[in-house]
Structure 1
Amino acid sequence: MIVSPESLRAAGFNGVRIVGDVHGDVRGFSAAVAGAEATGLFLIQLGDLTDHGTDGPAVLRLMFDLVEAGRGLFLLGNHDHKLRRALSGEKVRVEAAGLGRTLDQIAAAPDAEALRERALHHIGEAPAWLSLGRLFCVHAAFHDAMLLHASPPDAGTRKAEGLVGRAIFGQVTGARGADGFPIRLTGWIDRIPSGLTVLVGHDNRSRDGRPLVINGARGGRAIFLDTGAGKGGALAWRDFRLEEVFVDAPQGHAVAMTD
């Protein structure tokens, strides 16, 4: 299906629920999914489904079920991209509490091989960004060139460079902070056009457990929805009615979803 106001209305949805990084937090994600279904919302997850949390396989199954039923989609995150590379047999750096935990959980699952095949398929087809009327969804960082180009259909299978690299890794300095995490730049927020809200995950900038909202110089804004799920924090999401999203919206590309 094409994610557009017409397709969503035709499928019976009255809005969208945008969900931040899950990182294996199946309890929080199950609540997000149940709430979206109860209120007629199409669910869009911003990437980083697994690593760190208690049950990465359960999160994957739940997300893939939504995609296959036409009730949701997920964007490509850097952890998803790396998981697919590992499941494909590529040599990647494995952190014991992150990807290592997910790989162990998948190996121990009763449907391990089937889950591996589903992950290879769905991550391989996940969009790196999604323009949705007044909303723009991307895992790590926006670039205004993304408004001119649809996400590559094979973003999940290709080397993460160019706009795909920006989408899943953000804009990094090469340095690390006192917490050991990369220091990321946020100048891209000032490139967001007026009337557009960019929803991102990847970078937990919350100080109180709530999503952080930053307004840009051009009149747009960014909402950081990573609030530490799977790492000791709670899962965050935002709900939008279709009429909020598509009235007088900046132009962008829809994303085609395949079964």
Structure 2
Amino acid sequence: MNLRSRRHWVIGDVHGCHRPLCHLLATLPPNDHLVFCGDVINRGEAIPATMNLVWDLVQAGRATWLRGNHEQDLIDALDSRDGLSQHATYAQLGDSSARQWLPRLQQLPLVYRGDGWCATHAGFDAAGQPDLSIRDPFWEAYDGRFGQVVVGHTPRPQVERLGEIVLIDTGAVYGGCLSAYCPQTDAVVQVEGAATDAVLAGVGPC
């Protein structure tokens, strides 16, 4: 079966939440293709295990891991050797392992394109180029040129639609839920996120 014709599930920002991700994967159909919408890394308590799990899925052909702003920040810090002390991913991996990950992170795509839809971490700029940190300017100005766009990056209480934009980061690392969205069927699957005292305003349990 052609990959583009398979059913897809776009997964919101995981941020090192390994156990919720395992629960979500056990819930989703095993033959569907998974698209991780970036920010697999940082913030959570099990970042290396989460990275290894997602990378194994990529290597097996079951998933695509998109680059988020947190992956890009780590790439930049490893390249420049500046600001590494601020990265939870670097702290949990250690220098040697982090540098082994660098070429993998550098090859992560910015966009995944399906039939009539696409996924990217945050959105597109005015020129139609992926922007890993954009928010309101994209939400307000998107003209539909790429069809439905599924994005993470900005935690919301629930999966939310803004016209042709679907926001699927539901704050798993902040005590919200980890969400997967199917562009072909409009279905949403959610599991409880990480138990945490770091509550983000407006993001609560599933």
Conserved 8 A contact 1:130-1:136: yes
Gap change, CA 1:106 and 1:29, over 3 Å in 2 = same
Segments of structure 2 that go 5 or more residues without pairing to the other structure are: 187-206
- The answer as to whether partners of 1:144 and 1:192 remain within 8 angstroms in 2 is no
Q: Which residue of 1 aligns with 2:3?
A: 7
In structure 1, C-alpha distance between the alignment counterparts of 2:33 and 2:92, rounded to whole Å: 28
Would you say 1:212 and 2:160 are equivalent positions?
A: yes
Q: Does 1:102 align with 2:89?
A: yes
Question: What CA deviation, in whole Å up to 9, does each residue of 1:62-96 have, x standing for no partner?
Answer: 1111111111111111101112233445213654x
Aligned to 2:133: 169
Which residue number corresponds to residue 197 of structure 1? 148
In 2, distance between residues paired with 1:85 and 1:222? 28
CA RMSD of aligned residues (A): 2.6
Structure 1 residues 126 and 168: CA distance shift in structure 2, 3 A: same
Which stretches of structure 1, 4 residues or more, deviate above 6 A after TM superposition?
none
Q: Is the 8 A contact 1:21 1:226 kept in 2?
A: yes
Indicate the percent of aligned positions where both proteins have the same amino acid.
26
Q: Answer whether contact 1:192 1:198 (CA < 8 A) is retained.
A: no
The answer for the alignment partner of 2:112 in structure 1 is 130
Q: 1:91 to 1:231 in 2, by over 3 A?
A: same
Counterpart CA distance in 2 for 1:195 and 1:104 is 38
> 2:53 maps to which residue?
62
Instruction: Assess, with a 3 A threshold, how the Cα gap between structure 1 residues 187 and 51 changes in structure 2: closer, same or farther.
Output: closer
In the TM superposition, what is the alpha-carbon distance from 1:22 to its structure 2 partner?
Answer: 0.7
CA contact (8 A) 1:75 1:127 kept: yes
- In the aligned structure 2, how far is the partner of 1:195 from the partner of 1:168? 16
2:73 to 57, 79, 82: 82
SS of equivalent residue, structure 1 residue 213: strand
> Structure 1's 240 and 222: CA in aligned 2 closer, same or farther, altered over 3 A?
closer
Tell me the number of residue pairs that the alignment of Structure 1 and Structure 2 aligns: 186
Contact 1:21 1:201 in 2 (8 A): yes
d(CA) in 1 for partners of 2:143, 2:104: 29
Which has the greater radius of gyration? 1
Q: Match of 1:45, as an amino acid?
A: F
Q: Quick check: 1:52–1:231 contact (8 Å CA) kept in 2?
A: no
Contact 2:85–2:91 at 8 Å: present in 1 too?
Answer: no
Answering whether residue 121 of structure 2 is matched by residue 139 of structure 1, we say yes
Supply the distance in 1 between the matched residues of 2:123 and 2:18 (Cα, whole angstroms). 25
Measured in 2, the distance between the counterparts of 1:129 and 1:67 equals 15
Amino acid at match of 1:213: R
User: For the Cα contact (< 8 Å) 2:10–2:34, is it kept in 1?
Assistant: yes
Aligned-residue offset at 1:187: 4.6
1:149-201 residue CA offsets vs partner (Å, 9 max, x unmatched): xxxxxxxxxxxxxx34xx2111xxxxxxxxxxxxx424544423279211111
TM-score (norm 2): 0.78
> How far off is 1:8 after superposition?
5.2
Aligned CA distance change for structure 1 residues 239 and 39 (closer, same or farther; 3 Å)? farther
Task: Give how far 1:15 is off.
Answer: 0.7
SS in structure 2 at match of 1:17: strand
How far off is 1:61 after superposition? Answer: 0.2
